[in-house]
Structure 1
Amino acid sequence: MAEFKNPFMDFDVQKMMGEFKIPNVDVDGIVAAHKKNFDAIAQANQIAAEGMQAIMKRQSEIAQAAIVEVQSNLQAIATQGAPEEKLAQQASIAKSTLEQALGNLKELQEMVAKSNAEASGIINKRIMESLDEVKTAIEKTKS
């Protein structure tokens, strides 16, 4: 069976654009700008992926801690004597569990926000650089 070869892998944009010989077009500059764009996107994706991995790891840690705490709480409730004591213990556990869940939720939300801010910061920086490059290219064509 013949091996599949992607016809687009040998496509050289720089060579193709160079053949057109368009005046006042910096083909090398365009190719370099697109390479910088792809690099910025790759870097932003890497940061986003690392952030999501950290969040998943933290969620796993939270779940494991919750399981241990539930087991401990069930044992504590089982050892209580009177129904009133068990009810008071359950109310106390419910309150602390809710507070802990809200704290965990806030922590995870902050992790997501930080990861998103870092990734979007890279893209925003590249956009600003790209606009400066366009401005410089326009000024070059005027002179």
Structure 2
Amino acid sequence: MAKKPEPESFMDMFSKFGRDLKMPAVDVDDIVSHHRKNLEALEKSVKAGASGASSLIAKQREMIQSALQEVTEAAQGLRAPGNPQEMLGKQADFARRSFEAALKNAGEVADIVRKSGSESVEILRERIRESMQEVRDSYDKKK
């Protein structure tokens, strides 16, 4: 079976298209370079988001393991016969600790999401700043 030739990359097709147009005063290599930088910035942004998602999953796994361990310990403590007031005290203590852990975990999850989102957005903002400077520089060259 004959092997199919590799398809051209998007950047190669764009470069070829620009050269085929043969428009005056258009530097196709600069345009391709510009878009390559945009795609690289987008890739970095996506990686930052993916890293944040991985951190979030790890944190949720840790929270579930901790909760299961606490429930197991609480259930073992409640099995032992004892006076009802002591049992109610243990249940109330468990409920308080669970509530405090839930608040702490919610705050940590929010921090992970905020940090990941901020990092992704900042990468794109920086590329926009660079892109605007590149546009300014290209106009300055033409003058």
- Offset at 1:79? 2.1
- % of aligned pairs identical? 35
After alignment, is 77-86 or 24-33 more displaced?
77-86
> Does 2:35 align with 1:34?
yes
1:1-143 to 2 correspondences below 5 Å: 9=9, 12-79=13-80, 81-141=82-142, 143=143
After alignment, is 34-43 or 11-20 more displaced?
11-20
Structure 2 CA distance for aligned equivalents of residues 129 and 15 of structure 1:
25
Structure 2 CA distance for aligned equivalents of residues 48 and 101 of structure 1:
24
Unaligned runs of 5+ in 1: none
Tell me how many residue pairs correspond in the alignment.
Answer: 142
Measured against aligned partners, the alpha-carbon deviations of 1:103-141 in whole angstroms (never above 9, x if no partner) come to 011011101111111111111100100011111112222
Structure 2 CA distance for aligned equivalents of residues 130 and 18 of structure 1:
22
Aligned-residue CA RMSD in angstroms? 1.9
Q: Name the TM-score, length of structure 2 as normaliser.
A: 0.89
Report the 3-state secondary structure (helix = DSSP H, G, I; strand = E; otherwise coil) of the residue aligned with 2:25. Answer: coil
Unaligned runs of 5+ in 2: none
Report the 3-state secondary structure (helix = DSSP H, G, I; strand = E; otherwise coil) of the residue aligned with 2:24. Answer: coil
